[in-house]
Structure 1
Amino acid sequence: MGRRRGQGRRTWAQLCVVLAGLLVFLAAVGGAVGLAMVKSRIDRIPRVSVGLSLSFEERGDSEAQNFLLVGIDSAAGIDPGSPIHIDRDINTLLTDSVILVRIDPDADRVAMLSIPRDLWVPISGKGRHDRVNAARAMGGAATLIDTVSEYLGVPVHHYVEVNFAGFLQIVEAVDGVPVQIAQPIRDDSVGLRIEQAGVFPLDPDTALAYARTRRPLTLVEGGDPDDDNDWVRLGVWNDLERNQRQQEFVVATLKRAVEKGIRNPLTLRRVVDELLGGENPSITLDDRITVGRLVNLGNEFRSFGVDQIERYELPVVDAVRDGKQVLLLREQQARPALEFFRAGSLAGVRVRVLNGAPSGTVVGVEVALELAGFSVVERGNADRFDVARTVVRYTEGFEAEAETLARYVEPAPRLELVTGISGADVELVVGGDYATISGRPRDSAS
């Protein structure tokens, strides 16, 4: 596992990357002129109050930051005649895909990690497991952020959300997106029909249909486009194929934005008006991100090439839980990718807190760990209540995480190598000697 092209599992994750990329380009026009031009419009974008769920770590403009980008499967605000309404309820509001984007100006790197919508996770604060795409419906954006951050052990510094209307606006803003079509493709369920191979400038409706198709057909060689019998299944109809099309479309859209002169102030004005000028913007940002931060971030990446975006996948296996078809994370295999998104963050250490003292409580310990920056995934009771000295348990391969945690615990805990920890990197068994979680780590773990 590692960096690979065309990975992931669902549609909207990559469409969000298009939005984030355009926002960076908008901010990157430069100086007071660019700021003045976009500030009033960006300030009109709705904000969602999730500040307390975002990482406590303060990040400078040149430091790595993780953006959680979420695509909402909503057709609200779209012309009733659009093909998007085929076989769908206008009131549908689902989290269709989630992606984590890491932007690291110091290293000149941008990477994205697709999080499958069917990933089986503990829903933060709800005391139950479900697919990750259920988190937002259960408790809003904050619950989704907490769920992703706690389960994967990654910090989330900012949140961006976009719906179908936002996608259409993006394609409209860049005057369509030229895409290389390898062979004829058709899917009546989403209103897609392209009868010849070649490079085609996709208009908004066609682009959205191309992005959404899950059961495409192709025309047999020499076939008649008007004969339904000459259209046969294209590929194996899985989400990987759809995501490969999405990855290609993302790159094509960002390239198109550059070709259209997105860094030119006059072009910028038109594109900003297209994206953000409506009465009901289809983009939502978190309540902590500022226009100044976007401008500074954009300036850091003025010369960044679209083809430099790195793409990661989570290794998963099919399973059935509570009667649902779901995906389970292969935790050990996922570590290389997750470590990159955790880098430089205590949130990369997922901690299960267990009470091992007869009169102890882990509530205050959990809060102290989170304030220090760790990711607490669960709290509960240990298998016994006569633990005298606090213990940090870990499994093979998690020595560094255990030592990091131990350096924050006062007095110094005992380190214990165990087997069978699942869903967390380390376990903190609070003993009778526990005093506090320090705001600053000791020089050594013991």
Structure 2
Amino acid sequence: MTVLVILFVLGVLTGVAVAVTLSLFAGRRVIGADGRPGRRRGPGRIVLGLIGLAVVALLLAVEGGWFYANAKFDEIDRVDVDVDGDSVLAGSDGGTNYLLIGTDNREGVDGNRADSILILRTGDGPARLMSIPRDLVVPRPDLGGERARINAAYNSGPVNLIRTVQESVGIPIDRYIEINFVSFADLVDALGGVTINFPTPAIDEGSGLNVQEAGDVELDGEQALAYVRSRKYQEVIDGVPQPTSGSDLDRIVRQQVFLREVLGKAGSSRNPLHLARIGNALVGGLKIDNHMELFDALVFAWNMGQLDPVQTELPVSDAGDGATVVLAPEAEGVIADFAT
């Protein structure tokens, strides 16, 4: 509905601008000395007419760009978040909570893989970005309250994951966005690379990561994918590879950095040709909830280009089995910040 209203307004403005411009170039009706009607076109009218032409061209460009953006937006896959005709998205009272799911559907692996579960909070002060560990154990609504890994909720479908985040973690969700890391490699190439800061050179033979220098390094699509996939990340210190903790939390931080940088760079572009390439690359790598409109998506893209989200850590503690974690008592305050 928002899109139709905007297109209607643009159409009306274009029509008015065309009518005014034609009137200016036609000139003012006058009666000549011989009594015959005629038109007078002074320099002022010509200048105003040229300005009118520029306005018409601008409006047509905006309208054409909007039609193109809407056509691309319609190509993005939708995720049905309705149950019995009603959306499961609860929505927050203050800001806007985006549930961002990073998936890695690599060749030869069956099923869905939610490699990262992130919540971006905007609209009520500084933007915040928080990761939810995949191995967090919480009561699962789809299992009748049985405790299980939150990551497994995604394997049962996005609706189950949304409900789990809302009911068991306690954070209401406004928008759902799913990002395929494999397809995002194409987006990185469309952006001309993405810059990641490395404290030291780094390698991972398993993922193919091979960064030979420290500092800000521009990664292409292939190396960016190797960076977010890295499970055996090693820092190269004095020429010797040193294993890091290899924890799921470390990998989540890397994926968080990647998403912030690539979405920020995509959202900050204003070049129409560049935006067209970005749009083509984005279409294959995104899924969004079926209630999101183009205007919502543009707000999200604009925010990602302007924001530098504060990294927020969700406090967790070991569940006692060395493989899973549970919410720590300190998590209550962090969750409240995202829930109100």
> TM-score with structure 2 length normalisation?
0.72
Following the alignment from structure 1 to structure 2, what is the Cα–Cα distance between the partners of residues 149 and 31? 39
Instruction: Kindly provide the CA deviation profile for residues 119-176 of structure 1, in whole angstroms up to 9, marking residues without a partner as x.
Output: 1111113222210001122x31111111110012221122111223232122122111
How much has 1:68 moved relative to structure 2?
A: 1.2
Unaligned runs of 5+ in 1: 1-29, 77-88, 224-230, 344-446
Q: Give the residue type in structure 2 aligned to 1:242.
A: R
Aligned with 2:134 (options 94, 117, 127): 117
* 1:130 matches 2:148: yes
Give the conservation status (yes or no) of the 8 Å contact 1:215–1:237: yes
Following the alignment from structure 2 to structure 1, what is the Cα–Cα distance between the partners of residues 90 and 227? 39
Aligned with 2:99 (options 68, 74, 85): 68
Partner of 2:316: 316
Q: Quick one: structure 1 residues 133 and 341, their matched pair in 2 at CA, closer, same or farther if it must change by over 3 Å? A: same
Q: Quick one: structure 1 residues 109 and 55, their matched pair in 2 at CA, closer, same or farther if it must change by over 3 Å? A: same
Indicate the percent of aligned positions where both proteins have the same amino acid. Answer: 32
Q: Give the residue type in structure 1 aligned to 2:273.
A: L
Following the alignment from structure 2 to structure 1, what is the Cα–Cα distance between the partners of residues 184 and 62? 28
Aligned with 1:337 (options 319, 323, 334): 334
Partner of 1:54: 88
Give the conservation status (yes or no) of the 8 Å contact 1:47–1:286: yes
Aligned with 1:98 (options 112, 117, 125): 117
1:234-313 matches, within 5 Å, as 234-254=243-263, 256-257=265-266, 262-276=269-283, 281-296=284-299, 301=303, 305-307=306-308, 309-313=309-313
Q: Quick one: structure 1 residues 135 and 103, their matched pair in 2 at CA, closer, same or farther if it must change by over 3 Å? A: same
Following the alignment from structure 2 to structure 1, what is the Cα–Cα distance between the partners of residues 90 and 215? 49
Instruction: Kindly provide the CA deviation profile for residues 324-361 of structure 1, in whole angstroms up to 9, marking residues without a partner as x.
Output: 8211111x311221112111xxxxxxxxxxxxxxxxxx
How much has 1:245 moved relative to structure 2?
A: 3.5
How much has 1:255 moved relative to structure 2?
A: 5.0
Give the conservation status (yes or no) of the 8 Å contact 1:215–1:233: no
Root-mean-square deviation (CA), in Å? 2.8
Q: Quick one: structure 1 residues 197 and 296, their matched pair in 2 at CA, closer, same or farther if it must change by over 3 Å? A: closer
* 1:328 matches 2:331: no
1:406-425 matches, within 5 Å, as none
Q: Give the residue type in structure 1 aligned to 2:276.
A: R
Q: Give the residue type in structure 2 aligned to 1:292.
A: F
Secondary structure of the residue aligned to 1:336 is helix
Following the alignment from structure 2 to structure 1, what is the Cα–Cα distance between the partners of residues 92 and 249? 36
Q: Relative CO higher for 1 or 2, CA cutoff 8 Å, sep ≥ 6?
A: 1
Q: Give the residue type in structure 1 aligned to 2:117.
A: V
Q: Give the residue type in structure 1 aligned to 2:313.
A: E
Aligned with 1:160 (options 159, 164, 177): 177
Aligned with 1:36 (options 67, 90, 104): 67
Following the alignment from structure 2 to structure 1, what is the Cα–Cα distance between the partners of residues 89 and 312? 22
Following the alignment from structure 1 to structure 2, what is the Cα–Cα distance between the partners of residues 184 and 57? 42
Q: Give the residue type in structure 2 aligned to 1:283.
A: L
Secondary structure of the residue aligned to 1:295 is helix
Secondary structure of the residue aligned to 2:98 is strand
Q: Give the residue type in structure 1 aligned to 2:100.
A: L
Q: Give the residue type in structure 1 aligned to 2:152.
A: A
Instruction: Kindly provide the CA deviation profile for residues 91-143 of structure 1, in whole angstroms up to 9, marking residues without a partner as x.
Output: 34222221122221xx3532222111111111113222210001122x31111
Q: Quick one: structure 1 residues 306 and 56, their matched pair in 2 at CA, closer, same or farther if it must change by over 3 Å? A: closer
Pairs aligned (count):
276
Q: Give the residue type in structure 2 aligned to 1:328.
A: V
Secondary structure of the residue aligned to 2:314 is coil
Q: Which has the larger radius of gyration?
A: 2
Give the conservation status (yes or no) of the 8 Å contact 1:153–1:342: yes
Secondary structure of the residue aligned to 1:113 is strand
Instruction: Kindly provide the CA deviation profile for residues 65-93 of structure 1, in whole angstroms up to 9, marking residues without a partner as x.
Output: 212111222125xxxxxxxxxxxx33342
Q: Give the residue type in structure 1 aligned to 2:312.
A: Y
Secondary structure of the residue aligned to 1:196 is coil
Q: Quick one: structure 1 residues 240 and 129, their matched pair in 2 at CA, closer, same or farther if it must change by over 3 Å? A: closer
Instruction: Kindly provide the CA deviation profile for residues 185-243 of structure 1, in whole angstroms up to 9, marking residues without a partner as x.
Output: 1111111222333433211111111222232234452x4xxxxxxx3324333334334
Q: Quick one: structure 1 residues 206 and 158, their matched pair in 2 at CA, closer, same or farther if it must change by over 3 Å? A: same
Give the conservation status (yes or no) of the 8 Å contact 1:54–1:157: no
Q: Give the residue type in structure 2 aligned to 1:312.
A: T
Aligned with 1:144 (options 161, 164, 169): 161
How much has 1:305 moved relative to structure 2?
A: 3.4
Following the alignment from structure 1 to structure 2, what is the Cα–Cα distance between the partners of residues 296 and 203? 27
Q: Quick one: structure 1 residues 180 and 292, their matched pair in 2 at CA, closer, same or farther if it must change by over 3 Å? A: closer
